[in-house]
């Protein structure tokens, strides 16, 4: 990760003029999971050091093959790219879009424009790191330089906060203490003006309308929307975050920020989110910043243990059922037909919005892995198929945390979906909202519809529980004792 090149004094800001001998220095900025203009270290460095900048996004089939090509994320991505292009145009630039192998496309564009430097954000995944290495080698073979900027997708780059004698923290709280003590960098302003060479040509940008199979309630993507949400969240809801973040029925949208998809695509800078929350202060801000730290925590685990995207972080703890009955249970869980209203409501929210409340993620994941004793990988795959914020580090490592194969210090904790519903959805509004077939039931009956009898039970077209909770718990304990 080379230091950025020294800034040169800028003499002019002209739009779309051909590179001339007076403005010879050209830099490519490769956008990846950092689709914004505010607090964007690679864009800022390129703007400060070069006379003209080529903002580039490459739609790479290898990213799809790595599991990215889910409709909700492709639609959200399309919104983000359109918004980024608008922001660049407002500053005199534009986004150049290409399809193909990222390394080949970046090298081609660098050659076409005569760019001698390329700026990119360093990514935490094995995929991003392998791509960066290939890109560096290819550019250097061509006599060009790659600058990979840390601290774009996280507040603290993986590896920068580490315990003595070990590469990463395996427990959140000590990590958080060190993380919170570290002085945070100040967010960078967006460049006011950009100069882009007329070449290279751009492929058309994708549009959300062109993506089939998108969830009807998926939020709009893009940096403009992210910044609007952040402003409104900080001013209207942050103060109540500590008390309200677990309340499941959050129709007004004040309980949690719903910023996760914007953070995932880098439409919002985590450094800026932390900075602005801290500037407001208070218990809500502290709790929110602590939650943002989980992203960094998981990124540093994944950077140190890239295999944890698929393999158990702590091997030997997972005991999973298989066979016909297990497959039937998995199908019922995916469809939101397990017979437990809180679990089913969460799964239906996921299908409808491409997002699920964190409390519901915890309960649905615990139910799959501990009550049904099904492999966390099957659950994580389904979440990745639907979540707009679906993220290798956060998804896989949160799944492992719940499944007991990851970093949770209490791996045998099993969440009871009825007690969780009574606590976090006391009047049953969340269950009724997502399960229209139970809309006529008040709490407490809506949390346990199987207790109804006779005609009352027959009035509700809703399945009986896949397994009684006591039996599920006994099965979990027996399997783990045997293991």
Do the Cβ atoms of 345 and 418 come closer than 8 Å? Answer: no
Is 260 annotated as a binding-site member?
yes
Is 147 annotated as a binding-site member?
no
Do the Cβ atoms of 297 and 172 come closer than 8 Å? Answer: yes
| Helix (H/G/I), strand (E/B), else coil: 26 | strand
Is 391 annotated as a binding-site member?
yes
- For residue 266, list its beta bridge partners: none
- The token pair that represents 59 in the structure block: 């739609």
Is 387 annotated as a binding-site member?
no
Residue 358 CB, shortest distance to ligand FAD, in Å, is 3
Pick 54 or 301: Cβ nearer ligand FAD:
301
Residue 383 CB, shortest distance to ligand FAD, in Å, is 6
389 binds ligand FAD (CB under 6 A): yes
Residue 320 CB, shortest distance to ligand FAD, in Å, is 16
Residue 148 CB, shortest distance to ligand FAD, in Å, is 23
Residue 75 to residues 57, 79, 81, 213, Cα–Cα distance (Å):
16, 6, 10, 10
Residue 272 to residues 24, 94, 155, Cα–Cα distance (Å):
33, 24, 9
Residue 294 CB, shortest distance to ligand FAD, in Å, is 4
- The token pair that represents 185 in the structure block: 């960098």
* Footprint (CB under 6 A) of ligand FAD, residues 393-432: 394-395, 398-399, 402
Is 241 annotated as a binding-site member?
yes
Do the Cβ atoms of 124 and 298 come closer than 8 Å? Answer: no
* Footprint (CB under 6 A) of ligand FAD, residues 244-263: 245, 256-260, 263
Q: Looking up tokens 């094995």, which residue turns up?
A: 126
383 binds ligand FAD (CB under 6 A): yes
Is 166 annotated as a binding-site member?
no
Q: Which of 182, 191, 215, 227 is nearest to 89 (CA)?
A: 191
Span from 45-53, 91-99, 204-212, 391-399 in contact with ligand FAD (CB under 6 A): 391-399
- The token pair that represents 159 in the structure block: 């590896």
Do the Cβ atoms of 350 and 335 come closer than 8 Å? Answer: no
Pick 298 or 433: Cβ nearer ligand FAD:
298
Residue 344 CB, shortest distance to ligand FAD, in Å, is 16
Q: Is residue 202 exposed (0-12), middle (13-18) or buried (19+ Cβ within 10 Å)?
A: middle
382 binds ligand FAD (CB under 6 A): no
CA-CA distance, 315 to 46, in Å (whole number)?
44
Strands (E), 289-345: none
* Footprint (CB under 6 A) of ligand FAD, residues 171-200: none
CA-CA distance, 416 to 420, in Å (whole number)?
6
264 binds ligand FAD (CB under 6 A): yes
Residue 263 CB, shortest distance to ligand FAD, in Å, is 4
Do the Cβ atoms of 54 and 113 come closer than 8 Å? Answer: yes
* Footprint (CB under 6 A) of ligand FAD, residues 355-374: 358, 361-362, 365
Residue 380 CB, shortest distance to ligand FAD, in Å, is 7
Give the per-residue contact string, 203-242, with ligand FAD (x = CB under 6 A; - = no): ----------------------------------------
Do the Cβ atoms of 300 and 175 come closer than 8 Å? Answer: yes
Is 257 annotated as a binding-site member?
yes
Span from 83-91, 287-295, 452-460, 462-470 in contact with ligand FAD (CB under 6 A): 287-295
Single residue of 147, 172, 175, 294 touching ligand FAD by CB under 6 A: 294
49 binds ligand FAD (CB under 6 A): no
Q: What are phi and psi of 324, to 5 degrees?
A: -60, -45
Length of the chain: 483
Pick 301 or 332: Cβ nearer ligand FAD:
301
CA-CA distance, 53 to 29, in Å (whole number)?
7
Residues that bind ligand FAD (CB under 6 A): 245, 256-260, 263-264, 291-292, 294-295, 298, 358, 361-362, 365, 383, 387, 389-391, 394-395, 398-399, 402
Q: Which residues are annotated as a binding site for FAD?
A: 241, 256-260, 288, 389-391
């Amino acid at each position: 990760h080379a230091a950025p090149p020294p800034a040169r004094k800028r003499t002019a800001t002209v739009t779309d003029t051909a590179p001339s001998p007076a403005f010879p220095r050209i830099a490519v900025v490769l956008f990846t999971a950092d689709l914004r203009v505010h607090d964007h270290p690679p864009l800022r460095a390129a703007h400060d050091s070069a006379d003209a900048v080529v903002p580039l996004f490459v739609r790479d089939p290898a990213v799809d093959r790595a599991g990215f090509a889910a409709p909700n994320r492709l639609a959200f991505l399309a919104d983000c790219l359109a918004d980024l292009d608008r922001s660049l145009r407002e500053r005199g630039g534009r986004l150049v879009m290409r399809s193909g192998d990222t390394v080949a496309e970046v090298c081609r564009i660098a050659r076409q424009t005569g760019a001698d430097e390329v700026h990119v954000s360093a990514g935490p995944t094995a995929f991003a790191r392998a791509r960066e290495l290939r890109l560096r080698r290819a550019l250097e073979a061509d006599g060009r330089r790659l600058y990979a900027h840390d601290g774009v997708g996280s507040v603290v780059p993986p590896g920068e906060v580490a315990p003595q004698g070990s590469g990463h923290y395996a427990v959140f709280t000590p990590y958080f203490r060190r993380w919170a003590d570290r002085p945070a960098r100040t967010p960078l302003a967006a460049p006011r003006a950009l100069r882009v060479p007329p070449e290279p040509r751009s492929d058309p940008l994708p549009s959300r309308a062109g993506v089939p199979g998108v969830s009807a309630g998926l939020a709009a993507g893009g940096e403009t929307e992210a910044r609007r949400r952040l402003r409104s969240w900080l001013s209207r809801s942050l103060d109540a975050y500590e008390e309200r973040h677990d309340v499941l029925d959050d129709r007004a949208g004040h309980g949690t920020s719903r910023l996760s998809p914007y953070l995932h695509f880098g439409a919002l800078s985590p450094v800026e989110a932390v900075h602005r929350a801290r500037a407001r202060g208070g218990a809500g801000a502290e709790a929110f910043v602590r939650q943002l730290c989980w992203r960094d925590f998981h990124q540093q685990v994944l950077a140190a243990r890239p295999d944890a995207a698929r393999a158990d972080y702590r091997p030997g703890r997972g005991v999973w059922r298989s066979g016909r009955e297990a497959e039937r249970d998995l199908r019922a869980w995916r469809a939101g037909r397990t017979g437990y209203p809180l679990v089913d409501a969460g799964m239906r929210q996921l299908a409808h919005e491409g997002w699920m409340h964190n409390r519901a993620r915890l309960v649905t994941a615990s139910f799959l892995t501990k009550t049904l004793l099904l492999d966390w990988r099957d659950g994580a795959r389904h979440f990745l198929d639907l979540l707009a914020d679906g993220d290798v580090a956060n998804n896989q490592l949160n799944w492992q945390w719940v499944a007991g194969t990851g970093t949770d210090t209490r791996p045998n904790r099993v969440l009871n979906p009825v007690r969780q519903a009574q606590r976090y959805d006391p009047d049953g509004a969340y269950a009724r909202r997502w399960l229209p077939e139970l809309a006529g039931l008040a709490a407490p009956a809506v949390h346990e519809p199987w207790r109804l009898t006779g005609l009352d039970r027959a009035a509700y077209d809703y399945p009986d529980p896949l397994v009684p909770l006591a039996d599920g718990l006994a099965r979990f304990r027996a399997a783990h004792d045997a293991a």
